[in-house]
Amino acid sequence: MSTETGAPPEGAPPEEGGPLAGIRVIDLTTAWAGPMATRSLAWLGAEVIKVEPPRRPDGWRGFLTGGPPHHYPDFDPGEKPYNRDLLFNTQGHDKLSLSLDLKRPGGLDVLLRLAVLSDVLVANFTPGVLDRLGIGYEDLAALNDQIIVVEMPAFGSTGPMSTHQGMGKTMEAACGMAALIGYGDDEEPVLTGPAILDPIGGLNAAAAVLTALELRAHDGAGCHVEVPQTEAAAHWIGEFVLERLESDRTPAPEGNHVPDAAPHQAFPAAGDDDWVVVAVRGDEEWRALCGVLGRPGLAAAERYATLEGRLAHQDELEEAVAAWTRTRSKREAADALQAAGVPAAPVNDGTEVAADPALHACGFLSTMTHPEAGTHVYPGLGFRLDRTPGGMRRPAPLFGQHNEEVLAGLLGLTAGEIAELRANGTVADEPVADDPPSRGPRRVRGEAADSTRGGPR
Protein backbone atom coordinates (compact mmCIF):
# COMPACT_ATOMS: atom_id res chain seq x y z
CA MET A 1 0.00 0.00 0.00
CA SER A 2 1.18 3.51 -0.69
CA THR A 3 -0.32 6.86 0.20
CA GLU A 4 0.26 10.46 -0.61
CA THR A 5 1.80 10.97 2.84
CA GLY A 6 4.66 8.52 2.50
CA ALA A 7 5.45 4.83 2.37
CA PRO A 8 4.19 2.61 5.17
CA PRO A 9 6.66 0.55 7.19
CA GLU A 10 7.87 -2.64 5.58
CA GLY A 11 5.47 -5.50 6.20
CA ALA A 12 2.63 -3.21 7.31
CA PRO A 13 -0.78 -4.91 7.51
CA PRO A 14 -3.55 -3.92 5.11
CA GLU A 15 -5.58 -0.82 5.86
CA GLU A 16 -8.57 -2.88 6.95
CA GLY A 17 -6.52 -5.13 9.21
CA GLY A 18 -7.14 -3.44 12.56
CA PRO A 19 -9.82 -4.65 14.96
CA LEU A 20 -11.29 -1.13 15.15
CA ALA A 21 -11.71 -0.76 11.39
CA GLY A 22 -14.96 1.10 10.75
CA ILE A 23 -14.78 3.07 14.03
CA ARG A 24 -14.46 6.85 13.64
CA VAL A 25 -12.88 8.95 16.41
CA ILE A 26 -12.92 12.74 16.83
CA ASP A 27 -9.65 13.72 18.49
CA LEU A 28 -9.74 17.02 20.41
CA THR A 29 -6.69 16.21 22.51
CA THR A 30 -3.36 17.94 22.86
CA ALA A 31 0.17 17.21 24.13
CA TRP A 32 0.85 13.56 25.05
CA ALA A 33 -1.78 11.76 27.16
CA GLY A 34 -4.75 12.39 24.87
CA PRO A 35 -2.87 12.01 21.57
CA MET A 36 -1.39 8.73 22.79
CA ALA A 37 -4.89 7.45 23.56
CA THR A 38 -6.11 8.29 20.07
CA ARG A 39 -2.86 7.07 18.52
CA SER A 40 -3.54 3.71 20.17
CA LEU A 41 -7.02 3.65 18.63
CA ALA A 42 -5.56 4.52 15.21
CA TRP A 43 -2.99 1.74 15.65
CA LEU A 44 -5.94 -0.64 16.11
CA GLY A 45 -7.48 0.53 12.85
CA ALA A 46 -9.86 3.32 13.85
CA GLU A 47 -10.21 6.39 11.64
CA VAL A 48 -9.02 9.23 13.86
CA ILE A 49 -9.78 12.82 12.84
CA LYS A 50 -7.55 15.27 14.67
CA VAL A 51 -9.38 18.60 15.06
CA GLU A 52 -6.99 21.52 15.52
CA PRO A 53 -8.03 25.19 15.71
CA PRO A 54 -5.89 27.39 13.43
CA ARG A 55 -5.01 29.69 16.33
CA ARG A 56 -4.49 26.97 18.90
CA PRO A 57 -3.37 23.63 17.43
CA ASP A 58 -1.91 20.74 19.37
CA GLY A 59 0.82 22.13 21.66
CA TRP A 60 3.21 19.41 20.59
CA ARG A 61 3.47 20.96 17.15
CA GLY A 62 5.73 23.43 18.95
CA PHE A 63 6.45 27.04 18.04
CA LEU A 64 5.24 28.63 14.83
CA THR A 65 8.73 29.97 14.20
CA GLY A 66 10.68 27.02 15.55
CA GLY A 67 11.73 25.89 18.99
CA PRO A 68 14.49 23.79 20.58
CA PRO A 69 16.67 22.45 17.72
CA HIS A 70 16.59 18.88 19.04
CA HIS A 71 12.85 18.75 18.32
CA TYR A 72 13.50 18.73 14.57
CA PRO A 73 15.20 16.37 12.10
CA ASP A 74 18.82 17.40 11.53
CA PHE A 75 18.20 20.11 14.15
CA ASP A 76 16.50 22.17 11.47
CA PRO A 77 12.96 23.53 12.11
CA GLY A 78 12.50 24.21 8.39
CA GLU A 79 9.96 26.59 6.89
CA LYS A 80 7.05 24.97 8.74
CA PRO A 81 8.32 23.79 12.11
CA TYR A 82 4.84 22.73 13.20
CA ASN A 83 4.97 19.95 10.61
CA ARG A 84 8.43 18.76 11.64
CA ASP A 85 8.30 18.63 15.45
CA LEU A 86 9.23 15.15 16.67
CA LEU A 87 6.81 15.36 19.60
CA PHE A 88 3.76 15.65 17.38
CA ASN A 89 5.06 13.35 14.68
CA THR A 90 5.55 10.45 17.10
CA GLN A 91 1.97 10.67 18.39
CA GLY A 92 0.13 11.55 15.16
CA HIS A 93 0.51 8.37 13.12
CA ASP A 94 -2.50 7.39 10.99
CA LYS A 95 -4.57 10.44 11.95
CA LEU A 96 -6.34 12.88 9.66
CA SER A 97 -5.91 16.60 10.37
CA LEU A 98 -8.92 18.91 10.21
CA SER A 99 -8.23 22.55 11.00
CA LEU A 100 -11.40 23.90 12.62
CA ASP A 101 -12.13 26.77 15.00
CA LEU A 102 -15.29 25.97 16.96
CA LYS A 103 -15.67 29.56 18.12
CA ARG A 104 -15.82 31.08 14.64
CA PRO A 105 -18.82 31.08 12.30
CA GLY A 106 -19.83 27.61 11.18
CA GLY A 107 -17.21 25.79 13.25
CA LEU A 108 -19.57 24.32 15.82
CA ASP A 109 -21.98 23.21 13.11
CA VAL A 110 -19.19 21.33 11.32
CA LEU A 111 -18.17 19.56 14.52
CA LEU A 112 -21.77 18.57 15.28
CA ARG A 113 -22.21 17.19 11.77
CA LEU A 114 -19.02 15.23 12.23
CA ALA A 115 -20.24 13.88 15.58
CA VAL A 116 -23.37 12.47 13.92
CA LEU A 117 -21.10 10.31 11.76
CA SER A 118 -18.65 9.35 14.52
CA ASP A 119 -18.41 6.73 17.24
CA VAL A 120 -16.08 8.34 19.76
CA LEU A 121 -14.93 11.80 20.84
CA VAL A 122 -11.84 12.11 23.05
CA ALA A 123 -10.73 15.32 24.81
CA ASN A 124 -8.27 16.12 27.60
CA PHE A 125 -9.49 19.56 28.61
CA THR A 126 -10.42 20.71 32.09
CA PRO A 127 -13.92 19.70 33.23
CA GLY A 128 -16.75 21.72 31.73
CA VAL A 129 -14.96 22.89 28.60
CA LEU A 130 -16.86 20.57 26.25
CA ASP A 131 -20.19 21.61 27.76
CA ARG A 132 -19.37 25.29 27.42
CA LEU A 133 -18.47 24.73 23.77
CA GLY A 134 -21.80 22.99 23.17
CA ILE A 135 -20.25 19.58 22.48
CA GLY A 136 -20.59 17.85 25.84
CA TYR A 137 -21.98 14.35 26.04
CA GLU A 138 -25.60 15.45 26.43
CA ASP A 139 -25.28 17.77 23.41
CA LEU A 140 -23.80 15.08 21.20
CA ALA A 141 -26.01 12.24 22.45
CA ALA A 142 -29.07 14.28 21.43
CA LEU A 143 -27.80 14.00 17.85
CA ASN A 144 -26.18 10.57 18.03
CA ASP A 145 -27.25 8.30 20.88
CA GLN A 146 -24.45 5.86 20.08
CA ILE A 147 -21.58 8.27 20.53
CA ILE A 148 -19.01 7.70 23.28
CA VAL A 149 -17.43 10.80 24.84
CA VAL A 150 -14.21 10.27 26.79
CA GLU A 151 -12.80 13.10 28.90
CA MET A 152 -9.35 13.01 30.49
CA PRO A 153 -9.17 15.74 33.16
CA ALA A 154 -6.28 15.93 35.61
CA PHE A 155 -8.29 15.38 38.80
CA GLY A 156 -11.81 14.46 37.73
CA SER A 157 -14.93 16.59 37.41
CA THR A 158 -15.93 16.58 41.08
CA GLY A 159 -14.24 17.46 44.33
CA PRO A 160 -12.07 20.37 45.48
CA MET A 161 -9.36 19.81 42.85
CA SER A 162 -11.64 19.44 39.84
CA THR A 163 -10.70 22.86 38.45
CA HIS A 164 -6.96 22.39 38.94
CA GLN A 165 -4.76 22.19 35.89
CA GLY A 166 -2.30 19.35 35.63
CA MET A 167 0.94 18.37 33.97
CA GLY A 168 2.75 15.05 34.13
CA LYS A 169 5.15 16.27 36.82
CA THR A 170 2.50 17.81 39.06
CA MET A 171 0.15 14.85 38.78
CA GLU A 172 3.02 12.45 39.56
CA ALA A 173 3.47 14.32 42.82
CA ALA A 174 -0.27 14.49 43.54
CA CYS A 175 -0.87 10.76 43.11
CA GLY A 176 1.88 9.81 45.57
CA MET A 177 4.58 8.56 43.21
CA ALA A 178 7.15 11.23 44.01
CA ALA A 179 7.17 10.28 47.70
CA LEU A 180 8.47 6.82 46.78
CA ILE A 181 11.34 7.89 44.52
CA GLY A 182 14.77 9.08 45.57
CA TYR A 183 17.55 8.16 47.96
CA GLY A 184 17.26 7.73 51.70
CA ASP A 185 19.81 10.44 52.48
CA ASP A 186 18.23 12.97 50.11
CA GLU A 187 15.55 15.19 51.60
CA GLU A 188 14.12 16.23 48.25
CA PRO A 189 11.68 13.98 46.37
CA VAL A 190 12.75 12.89 42.90
CA LEU A 191 10.49 12.80 39.84
CA THR A 192 10.79 10.08 37.20
CA GLY A 193 11.02 12.60 34.38
CA PRO A 194 8.93 15.21 32.59
CA ALA A 195 5.70 13.31 32.05
CA ILE A 196 5.51 9.60 32.88
CA LEU A 197 1.85 10.03 33.78
CA ASP A 198 0.93 11.02 30.23
CA PRO A 199 1.44 7.61 28.61
CA ILE A 200 -0.15 5.94 31.63
CA GLY A 201 -3.23 8.12 31.20
CA GLY A 202 -3.23 7.61 27.45
CA LEU A 203 -3.31 3.83 27.71
CA ASN A 204 -6.01 3.99 30.39
CA ALA A 205 -8.14 6.17 28.12
CA ALA A 206 -7.66 3.81 25.17
CA ALA A 207 -8.75 0.92 27.38
CA ALA A 208 -11.79 2.94 28.47
CA VAL A 209 -12.78 3.50 24.83
CA LEU A 210 -12.53 -0.22 24.11
CA THR A 211 -14.64 -1.00 27.17
CA ALA A 212 -17.30 1.52 26.12
CA LEU A 213 -17.36 0.11 22.60
CA GLU A 214 -17.86 -3.39 23.99
CA LEU A 215 -20.74 -2.13 26.15
CA ARG A 216 -22.30 -0.42 23.14
CA ALA A 217 -22.06 -3.67 21.18
CA HIS A 218 -24.31 -5.25 23.82
CA ASP A 219 -26.90 -2.54 24.47
CA GLY A 220 -26.58 -0.25 21.43
CA ALA A 221 -26.09 2.93 23.45
CA GLY A 222 -23.18 5.29 23.80
CA CYS A 223 -21.97 6.71 27.10
CA HIS A 224 -19.88 9.34 28.84
CA VAL A 225 -16.53 8.15 30.24
CA GLU A 226 -14.19 10.05 32.53
CA VAL A 227 -10.54 9.04 32.94
CA PRO A 228 -8.93 11.31 35.58
CA GLN A 229 -5.20 11.25 34.97
CA THR A 230 -4.15 11.26 38.61
CA GLU A 231 -6.45 8.33 39.38
CA ALA A 232 -5.18 6.47 36.33
CA ALA A 233 -1.68 6.67 37.78
CA ALA A 234 -2.48 6.02 41.46
CA HIS A 235 -3.25 2.35 40.89
CA TRP A 236 0.36 1.84 39.76
CA ILE A 237 1.41 2.30 43.39
CA GLY A 238 -1.63 0.65 44.92
CA GLU A 239 0.37 -1.71 47.15
CA PHE A 240 2.15 1.23 48.77
CA VAL A 241 -1.13 3.02 49.41
CA LEU A 242 -2.56 -0.12 51.03
CA GLU A 243 0.58 -0.57 53.15
CA ARG A 244 0.20 2.96 54.44
CA LEU A 245 -3.48 2.46 55.27
CA GLU A 246 -2.98 -0.88 57.00
CA SER A 247 0.29 -0.33 58.83
CA ASP A 248 0.62 3.46 59.07
CA ARG A 249 4.08 3.06 57.49
CA THR A 250 5.29 4.91 54.44
CA PRO A 251 8.08 3.12 52.53
CA ALA A 252 11.22 5.24 52.46
CA PRO A 253 12.88 5.86 49.08
CA GLU A 254 16.00 3.72 48.75
CA GLY A 255 17.31 4.51 45.30
CA ASN A 256 17.51 1.34 43.21
CA HIS A 257 17.17 -0.97 46.20
CA VAL A 258 13.99 -3.03 46.56
CA PRO A 259 12.89 -5.33 49.40
CA ASP A 260 12.66 -8.52 47.33
CA ALA A 261 15.95 -8.57 45.38
CA ALA A 262 19.66 -8.05 46.10
CA PRO A 263 21.89 -7.08 44.45
CA HIS A 264 19.47 -4.79 42.63
CA GLN A 265 21.41 -1.91 41.15
CA ALA A 266 22.79 -0.14 38.08
CA PHE A 267 26.50 -0.97 37.90
CA PRO A 268 29.23 0.93 36.02
CA ALA A 269 30.49 -0.74 32.87
CA ALA A 270 33.53 -0.12 30.69
CA GLY A 271 32.94 3.00 28.62
CA ASP A 272 31.98 6.60 29.15
CA ASP A 273 28.97 6.74 31.48
CA ASP A 274 27.89 3.21 30.53
CA TRP A 275 25.85 1.12 32.93
CA VAL A 276 24.34 -2.33 33.27
CA VAL A 277 21.39 -3.16 35.51
CA VAL A 278 21.40 -6.42 37.52
CA ALA A 279 18.55 -7.84 39.60
CA VAL A 280 19.04 -10.98 41.72
CA ARG A 281 15.76 -12.22 43.17
CA GLY A 282 16.48 -15.61 44.69
CA ASP A 283 19.13 -18.07 45.79
CA GLU A 284 19.46 -19.76 42.39
CA GLU A 285 20.07 -16.44 40.64
CA TRP A 286 22.52 -15.50 43.38
CA ARG A 287 24.59 -18.63 42.82
CA ALA A 288 24.46 -18.04 39.06
CA LEU A 289 25.72 -14.48 39.55
CA CYS A 290 28.63 -15.70 41.67
CA GLY A 291 29.49 -18.19 38.94
CA VAL A 292 29.65 -15.47 36.29
CA LEU A 293 31.75 -13.27 38.58
CA GLY A 294 34.12 -16.18 39.22
CA ARG A 295 33.63 -15.74 42.97
CA PRO A 296 32.66 -19.12 44.46
CA GLY A 297 33.59 -17.79 47.87
CA LEU A 298 30.70 -15.36 47.77
CA ALA A 299 28.27 -18.15 47.02
CA ALA A 300 29.63 -20.19 49.93
CA ALA A 301 29.56 -17.34 52.46
CA GLU A 302 26.85 -17.95 55.04
CA ARG A 303 25.93 -14.30 55.45
CA TYR A 304 24.99 -14.09 51.76
CA ALA A 305 23.14 -17.41 51.66
CA THR A 306 19.67 -15.90 52.04
CA LEU A 307 17.91 -12.89 50.60
CA GLU A 308 17.75 -11.35 54.06
CA GLY A 309 21.50 -11.64 54.39
CA ARG A 310 22.14 -10.16 50.95
CA LEU A 311 19.80 -7.26 51.70
CA ALA A 312 21.74 -6.57 54.90
CA HIS A 313 25.10 -6.52 53.08
CA GLN A 314 24.19 -4.85 49.79
CA ASP A 315 27.01 -2.32 49.83
CA GLU A 316 29.80 -4.90 49.92
CA LEU A 317 28.04 -7.10 47.37
CA GLU A 318 27.69 -4.17 45.01
CA GLU A 319 31.41 -3.50 45.24
CA ALA A 320 32.09 -7.07 44.14
CA VAL A 321 29.70 -6.88 41.20
CA ALA A 322 30.99 -3.46 40.11
CA ALA A 323 34.58 -4.74 40.10
CA TRP A 324 33.50 -7.26 37.44
CA THR A 325 31.18 -5.01 35.37
CA ARG A 326 33.80 -2.25 35.07
CA THR A 327 35.97 -4.57 32.99
CA ARG A 328 33.30 -5.30 30.37
CA SER A 329 31.05 -3.38 28.05
CA LYS A 330 27.48 -3.02 29.26
CA ARG A 331 26.13 -5.30 26.54
CA GLU A 332 28.83 -7.93 27.06
CA ALA A 333 28.10 -7.95 30.79
CA ALA A 334 24.35 -8.17 30.28
CA ASP A 335 24.66 -10.99 27.74
CA ALA A 336 26.92 -13.03 30.03
CA LEU A 337 24.56 -12.62 32.97
CA GLN A 338 21.46 -13.41 30.93
CA ALA A 339 23.11 -16.55 29.56
CA ALA A 340 23.58 -17.71 33.14
CA GLY A 341 19.98 -16.96 34.08
CA VAL A 342 20.55 -13.67 35.90
CA PRO A 343 18.20 -10.79 34.94
CA ALA A 344 20.35 -8.01 33.47
CA ALA A 345 20.18 -5.36 30.78
CA PRO A 346 22.36 -2.56 29.41
CA VAL A 347 21.19 0.99 30.08
CA ASN A 348 20.63 2.08 26.48
CA ASP A 349 20.32 5.64 25.25
CA GLY A 350 17.92 6.74 22.52
CA THR A 351 20.34 6.09 19.68
CA GLU A 352 20.94 2.54 20.87
CA VAL A 353 17.23 1.85 21.26
CA ALA A 354 16.54 3.13 17.74
CA ALA A 355 19.18 0.79 16.33
CA ASP A 356 18.24 -2.24 18.44
CA PRO A 357 17.98 -5.21 16.03
CA ALA A 358 15.58 -7.03 18.36
CA LEU A 359 13.11 -4.13 18.35
CA HIS A 360 13.33 -3.94 14.55
CA ALA A 361 12.90 -7.69 14.16
CA CYS A 362 9.75 -7.81 16.29
CA GLY A 363 8.23 -4.83 14.47
CA PHE A 364 8.25 -2.34 17.35
CA LEU A 365 10.50 0.01 15.37
CA SER A 366 9.56 0.92 11.80
CA THR A 367 10.95 3.25 9.18
CA MET A 368 8.47 5.74 7.79
CA THR A 369 8.68 8.71 5.44
CA HIS A 370 7.01 11.97 6.42
CA PRO A 371 6.51 14.50 3.59
CA GLU A 372 8.26 17.33 5.47
CA ALA A 373 10.20 15.60 8.25
CA GLY A 374 11.82 12.98 6.00
CA THR A 375 12.54 9.30 6.60
CA HIS A 376 13.11 8.18 10.17
CA VAL A 377 12.64 5.33 12.60
CA TYR A 378 9.48 5.54 14.71
CA PRO A 379 8.42 3.49 17.74
CA GLY A 380 5.26 1.45 17.60
CA LEU A 381 3.10 0.34 20.51
CA GLY A 382 3.62 -2.55 22.88
CA PHE A 383 0.81 -4.78 21.68
CA ARG A 384 0.29 -6.77 18.49
CA LEU A 385 -2.69 -8.88 17.52
CA ASP A 386 -2.50 -12.00 15.39
CA ARG A 387 -5.64 -12.01 13.23
CA THR A 388 -6.13 -8.22 13.20
CA PRO A 389 -2.62 -6.86 13.74
CA GLY A 390 -3.11 -3.13 13.31
CA GLY A 391 0.02 -1.00 13.22
CA MET A 392 1.40 2.22 11.70
CA ARG A 393 0.32 2.86 8.14
CA ARG A 394 0.74 6.62 7.58
CA PRO A 395 2.97 9.28 9.12
CA ALA A 396 1.55 12.09 11.23
CA PRO A 397 -0.51 14.57 9.21
CA LEU A 398 0.54 18.00 8.10
CA PHE A 399 -1.51 20.74 9.70
CA GLY A 400 -4.91 20.88 7.97
CA GLN A 401 -3.82 18.27 5.46
CA HIS A 402 -7.22 16.57 5.30
CA ASN A 403 -9.51 19.58 5.37
CA GLU A 404 -11.01 18.87 1.96
CA GLU A 405 -11.20 15.13 2.55
CA VAL A 406 -13.25 15.60 5.71
CA LEU A 407 -15.30 18.67 4.79
CA ALA A 408 -16.17 17.77 1.22
CA GLY A 409 -15.63 14.03 1.10
CA LEU A 410 -17.06 12.96 4.45
CA LEU A 411 -19.47 15.78 5.36
CA GLY A 412 -20.51 16.70 1.84
CA LEU A 413 -19.96 20.46 2.16
CA THR A 414 -20.03 22.39 -1.10
CA ALA A 415 -17.09 24.35 -2.43
CA GLY A 416 -18.95 27.55 -1.56
CA GLU A 417 -19.55 26.48 2.03
CA ILE A 418 -15.90 25.53 2.46
CA ALA A 419 -14.79 28.83 0.94
CA GLU A 420 -16.97 30.70 3.44
CA LEU A 421 -15.43 28.77 6.34
CA ARG A 422 -11.99 29.74 5.10
CA ALA A 423 -12.99 33.39 4.67
CA ASN A 424 -14.22 33.48 8.27
CA GLY A 425 -10.99 31.96 9.59
CA THR A 426 -12.90 28.89 10.76
CA VAL A 427 -10.83 26.60 8.54
CA ALA A 428 -7.21 27.20 7.52
CA ASP A 429 -4.46 25.23 5.85
CA GLU A 430 -1.75 26.69 8.10
CA PRO A 431 -1.69 27.75 11.76
CA VAL A 432 -2.47 31.40 12.41
CA ALA A 433 -0.50 33.50 14.89
CA ASP A 434 -2.92 35.51 17.02
CA ASP A 435 -0.30 37.59 18.87
CA PRO A 436 1.80 40.49 17.52
CA PRO A 437 5.27 39.43 16.31
CA SER A 438 6.81 41.92 18.74
CA ARG A 439 5.91 39.62 21.62
CA GLY A 440 8.42 37.05 20.43
CA PRO A 441 8.07 33.50 19.12
CA ARG A 442 4.75 31.89 19.85
CA ARG A 443 4.04 28.31 20.76
CA VAL A 444 1.25 26.92 18.64
CA ARG A 445 -0.65 25.94 21.75
CA GLY A 446 0.11 26.60 25.40
CA GLU A 447 2.55 24.51 27.40
CA ALA A 448 3.77 21.57 25.35
CA ALA A 449 3.52 18.99 28.12
CA ASP A 450 0.23 20.22 29.56
CA SER A 451 -2.46 17.63 28.96
CA THR A 452 -5.37 19.29 30.71
CA ARG A 453 -5.62 23.00 29.88
CA GLY A 454 -8.69 24.78 28.52
CA GLY A 455 -10.57 24.21 25.30
CA PRO A 456 -9.93 25.03 21.67
CA ARG A 457 -10.33 28.55 20.50
Residue 446 has pLDDT above 50, yes or no: no
Domain boundary assignment for the chain: 15-236+358-439, 275-346
Q: Tell me what pLDDT residue 3 has.
A: 34
**CA 401/CA 53 separation, integer angstroms:** 13
| pTM, to two decimals | 0.85
Q: Tell me what pLDDT residue 434 has.
A: 66
Q: Tell me what pLDDT residue 444 has.
A: 40
Window from 54-58, 115-119, 254-258, 406-410 with minimum mean pLDDT: 254-258
Domains 15-236+358-439 and 275-346 share a fold: no
What would the pLDDT profile of 375-414 be if each residue is shown by its tens digit?
999 999 988 888 888 899 999 999 999 999 999 999 999 9
What confidence category does residue 442 fall into, taking pLDDT thresholds of 50, 70 and 90? Answer: very low
Q: Are strands 365-370 and 344-346 parallel, antiparallel or unpaired?
A: unpaired
Residue 450 has pLDDT above 60, yes or no: no
Q: Which CATH superfamily groups domain 15-236+358-439? A: Crotonobetainyl-coa:carnitine coa-transferase; domain 1 (3.40.50.10540)
Residue 149 has pLDDT above 60, yes or no: yes
**CA 414/CA 223 separation, integer angstroms:** 32
**CA 424/CA 417 separation, integer angstroms:** 11
Q: Where are the alpha helices (H) located in 128-176, listed in sequence order? A: 129-133, 137-141, 168-174
Query: Is the Cβ–Cβ distance between 31 and 171 less than 8 Å?
Result: no
CATH 3.30.1540.10 is held by the domain 275-346: yes
**CA 441/CA 453 separation, integer angstroms:** 20
Average pLDDT for the chain: 87
What would the pLDDT profile of 282-312 be if each residue is shown by its tens digit?
999 999 999 999 999 999 999 999 999 999 9
Q: What is the rounded average pLDDT of the residues 406-428? A: 97
Residue 165 has pLDDT above 90, yes or no: no
Alpha carbon 257 to chain centroid distance? 27
Which of the residues 27, 94, 198, 274 is marked catalytic? Answer: 198
246 burial via Cβ count (<10 Å: 0-12, 13-18, 19+): exposed
Most confident of 6-20, 177-191, 277-291: 277-291
What confidence category does residue 159 fall into, taking pLDDT thresholds of 50, 70 and 90? Answer: confident
- Across 72-107, b (16+ Cβ under 10 Å) vs e yields bbeeebeebbbbbbbbbbbbbbbbbbbbbbbebebb
| Catalytic site includes residue 198 | yes
What confidence category does residue 254 fall into, taking pLDDT thresholds of 50, 70 and 90? Answer: confident
Phi and psi at residue 418, in whole multiples of 5°? -65, -40
